[in-house]
Structure 1
Amino acid sequence: MELRCSVLVLALAAVLSVAAAYDPLDPNGNITIKWDIMSWTPDGYVAVVTINNFQMYRHIMSPPGWTVGWTWAKKEVIWSMVGAQATEQGDCSKFKGNIPHCCKRTPAVVDLLPGVPYNQQIANCCRGGALAAYGQDPAAAVAAFQVSVGQAGTTNRTVKVPKNFTLLGPGPGYTCGPGKVVPSTVFLSPDRRRKTQALMTWNVTCTYSQHLASKYPSCCVSFSSFYNDTIVPCRKCACGCEHKTCVQGDSKRLAVTGKQARGRHHGDKEAALLQCTTHMCPVRVHWHVKLNYKEYWRAKIAITNFNYRMNYTQWTLVAQHPNLDNITEVFSFDYKPVVAYGSINDTAMFYGLKYFNDQLMEAGPHGNVQSEVLMRKDATKFTFKQGWAFPRKVYFNGDECQMPPPDAYPYLPNSAPPAGAAAASPASVIIVAFLALLLMRDLHWTDLLVLELLFHQGRRRRRRNSSASAYSDADSDTEWEDPEDGVGSLFVMEGTPEKEPFCEQLSEQFEAYIYGQRKETSFKT
């Protein structure tokens, strides 16, 4: 009975581990490490190791870049390497004369930095460990190095495949399977008239799990719209608030701590120095429903970096929305559809333009990138009701972001607000105020003027809400005006008229009457 329970527990753990590494938006995404033995040596072989990133929108940044490790099956050593290096040499004291490059039984290999001598380079090496996403830049989604292995056997029968492969990119998150011998790789000559093949080939497949990479999300999402003046912020502590170091944006500590540590901890999530926010996320993605046309509608996307020690190079943003299958134009970003399930085209990948905004700078005045997406309406499904205009999922650099709760999405003016969000109507406020004034004696003539102005103000607000409701779902050739075009314009609610300062001042004075805070006139009792 105990044995059966143990087997069931192990089987369940295996299923859960596989499920945790499954990405529904990129079900076939993985990193494949391929070993090709190209020639034999007196005590081993020379192999070319190729790392292919087949993930559509998840890449590995540099520095520190990728790190590949394994455990030798026998007592192998690394005599030399080209295009990469082992991080530790290990104990090579038993060797006389020629000293191996690495004698550790569990070597860890990293890429070389750009600019190394040509005799230490091979094709697709020396990028500092950077590995681009396949959907973003297929040519840069491959890395390679050459390794000369000794004490390993000199035939296909005596060579043993290494075990316990690991991949850091740059931190944890990847799980690698065992090496499997596959048919030898075939190579074409430069003139493509001759084929050669490797002497032996094995593959290792590594998959990514966000749950293994971090306990909390690394980004969050906020919403706003032109038809509602409410900004839905990121959830409180969306990325966890425990054991995180943060500073205020104007703190003097940034001049010392942030700049000194930025170079040492570039790419290290644990050493992040965040700007103090309620969500405590390194990155926030804001989606703003901006404009409504007769046949089109427009959304604005802004990505903000709150990490003072991180520049996000070759960043990617993935959004899932049913109208992303009909994108007309994307401004300031590059765009590619992510079609994982045949004809279902509801996912898009956005990334920066090369040499323009493909790097999201550290937190500060330049720590944001933004763009707008113009989409054609589908009359059979388009609506602004029930938060339809907002994305279902958002990923930044391959990690899923924390979304706001569904009941907090901006709602239409003619729709019932969520529970707890209902506000008193202008008419009810005026009635309550009038009854309160009736309880007072010796009203001044200016008080009656306040009541009259408030009454007209309530009528104006009701008229605005009705006009905004008409624009919300009806087709229109007129676009809402955007009073400014900059970073701050993301949060400007198009279609919301400017408030009249005089009426607002009178409203504040009237509230002072109700709460007994007016100092100019005292009421008789």
Structure 2
Amino acid sequence: MKLMYIAFLFIHLRVQICYGATDYDDDYSDDDEKPASPPPAQTNCNGVFLTYTFIERIKELPYLKNVSAQSWAFKSTATIVNTGLEEVKGWKIFIGFQHREILVSANNAVLVDGAGDFPANVSKGATLAGYPNADLQTSVDTAADYTKMSVQIDLTGTMFGMKEKSIPLPKSIRLVNDGWKCPKLTKYPTYMYSCCKQDPKYKKKSSTNKYAARQYGDVNFVYDVLKSYEGSYEAQVTIDNDNPLSCLSKWNLTWEWMRGEFIYSMRGAYTRKIDYSECIFGLQGQYLSGFDFSQAMNCEKTPVISDLPPDRANNSQVGLVPYCCRDGSLLSRVMDKNRARSIFQLRVYKIPPDVSKTVLYPPQRWNITTLVSAEYKCSQPVRVDPTEFPNSTGLDAKTYAVASWQVVCNMTKPVKKEAKCCVSYTAYYSDAAVPCSTCACGCDDLNTDKCNPDAKAMALPTDALLVPAENRTLKIKAYASLKHKEIPKRLPCPDNCGVSINWHIISDHKGGWTARITLFNWGDEPFKDWFVALQFKKAFPGYDSVYSLNATKLKSPKNTIFIQSLKGSEYLVGEVNGSSSGKPRIPGKQQSVIGFTKKNIQGLNVKKGDGFPSKVIFNGAECALPAHFPNAATRSSPVSYTAVVFLSIVTFLLLMTDHFR
């Protein structure tokens, strides 16, 4: 009985979704057959009906005896049908793949949330959004036109580790739009479905907008079509940095053209590759045979776009765009609201069948990267009401974009060993530095035959923090010998971070305490207009003052101290050569002392961890923190002078040993 029901349902989906809405019965014809009725589960669903159907899988080459390593090519379909009375704008579904799937293609949808282009590793699941049709209208508004109220997504890909006769289904499938809930799935051997309904507790904001309401994340893009012509249009891209702890340095923006578009010219920005050869040999050259491509800026499907330097701001050919030409720098609004926005404009050409001035599609799969900042995950473009602009003639009137889309990007929490900065701890009561974690910023570019990427970082003398990682080996060994610690054959790999921050407890007394923060730049490039944000779980209310830097207590995020340079010292310079040949390179450095009180803070214990920040953010990037705090037990004894002499002798002997080896 179940198999008959599944077969009936699959036939219905083929009729209703693959081929669109069926024709109605002709009351005057006896030959026409009545169309199949929807399956009971869909008929009884007042919301959004989701299905996933496994079709087939074929063993891929090479054939392996190891079942877990064998790959299989699979085909499946996912459908989404609006069976309710309210239009679903910007639909998104999550498919919880669980068999190490690699998705090779998906029609009528695009991957979002930073998954990238096909083929894509979706072993932890995939979020798909509608393209080119992002909205699902209702049956009432379309006279049951399934081409407008439903979508079928044909999926192909590769999966691993399945026995020959097993039928792999995903763990889950659900609608991820705000305000929707999907109950427990109903599963059959090759088929699963769910009826998603609106959450009655969700408070939807009242709006008179024709399109979706604008959302606000950490970094927000607006893609405005300003003018539309037959075969081309002019657009403007606005980038707003709206998170106080976000900062973009040397940003690079990428997106993907889905319908053969290409960039003819730009103002306020440029493409990293200026080349029109792909147009000549691509679809553009086939459809636009008489077009002069020699002046086109870029014909890549996925162009890389960068900001112009400040000296091009008033250039009549590429500049003269408001908020342009900041050399890829978007500051936090706490630092300068006017420098938290960037704008550039572009001329886009289209190819058939999209040449009509009314046919407009934004690029998809937006992504932005920076020099040292957080990683961002961006949404798909969502159609919003046209952007409003002041009238250029000075009249008390408004002008509007032809069409507007918004892309929202949010910062992600760094994965272990993939940070972009790290923190070390020191304190007056300990002669050992708690260093940054091993491979805190990754070890892909290190020779791990000479160092151990999995070993725990070894304690080191505090002065070792002042020299590059490659010059710390002798100091680490000498300190381990002094403390009678075992020295492994392969020392732990260094943190490998371009920026490191040391937090040092200077003093702790009854009325308050002080700390010193030191920033090190181990790279060649300087950081201009940098900032550091410190979050504390308990000590934040006691913040009192900072010296030689500028600090602000933020209302949001809570318990955060925002520190930036004073005017005239905006640069955290890069690493330079030592004072003489053979001397270690010297990092760029800035530091300051921060004072705290203990007034009205019960149970504050500086040494046990309350005196150390729970989160450190440099230029928007969350830094990796050490695994533990300095231990008072390592404090130097009264004969510390003897220990220092002994440490120097051991270091000298190690140097001589290495010299004559």
Deviation larger for 129-138 or 47-56: 129-138
Counterpart of 2:300?
104
User: Residues of 2 paired with 1:203 and 1:404: CA distance?
Assistant: 39
Report the CA distance shift for 1:243/1:66 in structure 2 as closer, same or farther (over 3 A).
Answer: closer
Q: 2:517 aligns with which of 301, 309, 318?
A: 301
Superposition map of 1:512-523 within 5 A: none
Counterpart of 2:84?
none
User: Residues of 1 paired with 2:544 and 2:617: CA distance?
Assistant: 22
User: Residues of 2 paired with 1:210 and 1:182: CA distance?
Assistant: 28
Q: 1:126 aligns with which of 321, 325, 328?
A: 325
User: Residues of 2 paired with 1:317 and 1:324: CA distance?
Assistant: 15
Q: Is the 8 A contact 1:231 1:410 kept in 2?
A: no
Superposition map of 1:369-518 within 5 A: 369-381=590-602, 382-406=604-628, 408-411=629-632, 417=633
User: Residues of 2 paired with 1:368 and 1:500: CA distance?
Assistant: 28
**Alpha-carbon deviation of 1:274?**
6.6
**Alpha-carbon deviation of 1:202?**
0.4
Report the CA distance shift for 1:241/1:198 in structure 2 as closer, same or farther (over 3 A).
Answer: closer
User: Residues of 2 paired with 1:215 and 1:183: CA distance?
Assistant: 42
User: Residues of 1 paired with 2:311 and 2:588: CA distance?
Assistant: 29
Unaligned runs of 5+ in 1: 17-26, 247-272, 412-416, 427-460, 462-498, 509-525
Q: Is the 8 A contact 1:226 1:289 kept in 2?
A: yes
Determine if the alignment matches structure 1 residue 8 to structure 2 residue 96. Answer: yes
Determine if the alignment matches structure 1 residue 145 to structure 2 residue 344. Answer: yes
Q: Is the 8 A contact 1:58 1:316 kept in 2?
A: no
Deviation by residue 1:379-414 (Cα, 9 ceiling, x = unmatched): 4323334222111122223233232223x4333xxx
Deviation by residue 1:271-321 (Cα, 9 ceiling, x = unmatched): xx97544444322211112234553322111112233x2322322222111
Determine if the alignment matches structure 1 residue 136 to structure 2 residue 335. Answer: yes
Q: Is the 8 A contact 1:88 1:108 kept in 2?
A: no
Q: 2:220 aligns with which of 32, 50, 64?
A: 32
Q: Is the 8 A contact 1:291 1:298 kept in 2?
A: yes
Superposition map of 1:162-311 within 5 A: 162-170=363-371, 173-189=375-391, 193-209=396-412, 211=414, 215-241=417-443, 243-244=445-446, 275-277=470-472, 278-292=494-508, 295-307=511-523, 309-311=524-526
User: Residues of 2 paired with 1:76 and 1:28: CA distance?
Assistant: 28
**Alpha-carbon deviation of 1:357?**
4.1
Q: Is the 8 A contact 1:240 1:279 kept in 2?
A: yes
Q: Is the 8 A contact 1:66 1:110 kept in 2?
A: yes
Q: 1:328 aligns with which of 544, 547, 558?
A: 544
Deviation by residue 1:179-215 (Cα, 9 ceiling, x = unmatched): 1110111123486833222121101122333547x95
Aligned residues: 379
Deviation by residue 1:145-187 (Cα, 9 ceiling, x = unmatched): 1112223757785212222223232589333221111011112
**Greater per-residue helix proportion:** 1
Report the CA distance shift for 1:32/1:276 in structure 2 as closer, same or farther (over 3 A).
Answer: farther
Counterpart of 1:268?
none
Q: Is the 8 A contact 1:245 1:274 kept in 2?
A: no
Q: Is the 8 A contact 2:530 2:570 kept in 1?
A: no
Q: Give the AA of the match of 1:390.
A: F
SS in structure 2 opposite 1:120? coil
Superposition map of 1:55-134 within 5 A: 55-61=243-249, 65-86=250-271, 87-90=273-276, 91-93=278-280, 94=285, 96=290, 98-99=292-293, 100-116=296-312, 117-121=315-319, 122-134=321-333
Q: Give the AA of the match of 2:267.
A: V
Q: 1:352 aligns with which of 565, 571, 595?
A: 565
SS in structure 2 opposite 1:134? coil
User: Residues of 2 paired with 1:155 and 1:376: CA distance?
Assistant: 67
Counterpart of 2:112?
none
**Alpha-carbon deviation of 1:334?**
2.0
Structure 2-normalised TM-score?
0.51
SS in structure 2 opposite 1:166? strand
Report the CA distance shift for 1:77/1:208 in structure 2 as closer, same or farther (over 3 A).
Answer: same
User: Residues of 1 paired with 2:432 and 2:344: CA distance?
Assistant: 53
Q: Give the AA of the match of 2:425.
A: F
RMSD: 3.8
**Alpha-carbon deviation of 1:326?**
3.6
SS in structure 2 opposite 1:115? helix
SS in structure 2 opposite 1:119? coil
Structure 1-normalised TM-score?
0.62
Report the CA distance shift for 1:109/1:274 in structure 2 as closer, same or farther (over 3 A).
Answer: farther
User: Residues of 2 paired with 1:377 and 1:40: CA distance?
Assistant: 63
Structure of greater relative contact order (alpha carbons < 8 Å, 6+ residues apart): 1
Q: Give the AA of the match of 2:564.
A: Y
SS in structure 2 opposite 1:110? strand
Deviation by residue 1:331-369 (Cα, 9 ceiling, x = unmatched): 12222334446xxx3122222223314324325446111
Q: Is the 8 A contact 2:248 2:620 kept in 1?
A: no
Unaligned runs of 5+ in 2: 1-51, 56-73, 77-94, 99-121, 128-171, 173-214, 449-467, 473-493, 577-584, 647-661
